[in-house]
Amino acid sequence: MVKKIILVVYKKYFWKSCLKLFLEKQSNYQIVSEVDFKDMVSSVDEEDANLIIIDEFIFDNFGLNVLNILKKTNLPVLVFKCSNFFEEKDRLYLNEVNGFITPFCTEEQLLDAISEVSCNKKWLSPELSANILDIISKKNINNSSIHLTQRELEVLTLMVQGLNNTEIAKILNNSVYTVQNHISNLYSKIGLNERLKVINFAIQNGLVSQK
């Protein structure tokens, strides 16, 4: 099944042309519309799309109104960030979209992001994971408030067993980048940003069993 993508950009940036050229070579993905922010909803109605890829500058120029309109589309949203770090202003929409990619993503990461987000899943570029915890407000987390997916539990279990990312990827038949993404999600959900601390937390709170 071909995933149909609507591309929403503020200006005709070079990255948009590169993205188009790359996706044109992929049989499973198709950019069905290129629109500005004001025409986004009507384009969604006309094209029966599966995913919106939106330029982060749309949020800078149109503010919270962007989120209200995105919600009306009922489509998963992948944000293209031009830098590899989050700023305080990004707090407004961090939890309202499905994922983030940057110019530093590899082709494999880009395809993985589109695949995951088009299925309404979360995806975070590994380049962004390093400082996301500095933007998301810290909360006291307990075991009952942490909800991990089955795949995240599998990754966490293998981390506890002492395996590195490459070894985990081989066992789960995933790419290393996908494993990195799962680990980034674990860091965010648990509220810690160091591997050893996450492992210790998982053991102490019974998230996984130590073999």
Q: How many CB atoms lie within 10 A of CB 51?
A: 24
Per-residue pLDDT of the chain (211 residues; tens, 9 = 90+): 888 998 888 777 777 888 888 988 998 898 888 888 778 878 887 888 899 999 888 877 777 678 878 888 889 999 998 877 777 566 667 777 888 988 888 888 899 999 999 999 888 887 776 566 555 444 444 555 678 899 999 999 998 888 999 999 999 999 999 999 999 989 888 877 788 778 878 877 778 865 5
CATH of 3-134, one of 3.40.50.2300, 3.10.290.10, 3.20.20.70, 1.10.3720.10: 3.40.50.2300
β-bridge partners, 13: none
In this structure, CATH architecture of domain 138-204: Orthogonal Bundle (1.10)
**Calpha distance 171→108 (Å, rounded):** 19
Model pTM greater than 0.75?
no
User: Which pLDDT belongs to residue 143?
Assistant: 52
Which part of the chain has CATH 1.10.10.10?
Answer: 138-204
* Residues forming a β-bridge with 29: 3
If you write DSSP's letter for every residue of 141-194 in order, what string do you get? --GGG----HHHHHHHHHHHTT--HHHHHHHHT--HHHHHHHHHHHHHHHT--S
Residue 138: the pLDDT is: 44
Give per-residue pLDDT as tens, 3-56: 899 888 877 777 788 888 898 899 889 888 888 877 887 888 788 889 999 988
All CATH 3.40.50.2300 domain ranges of the chain, comma separated, are: 3-134
Which pLDDT score is estimated for 51? Answer: 93
Query: What single-letter DSSP state applies at residue 62?
Result: H
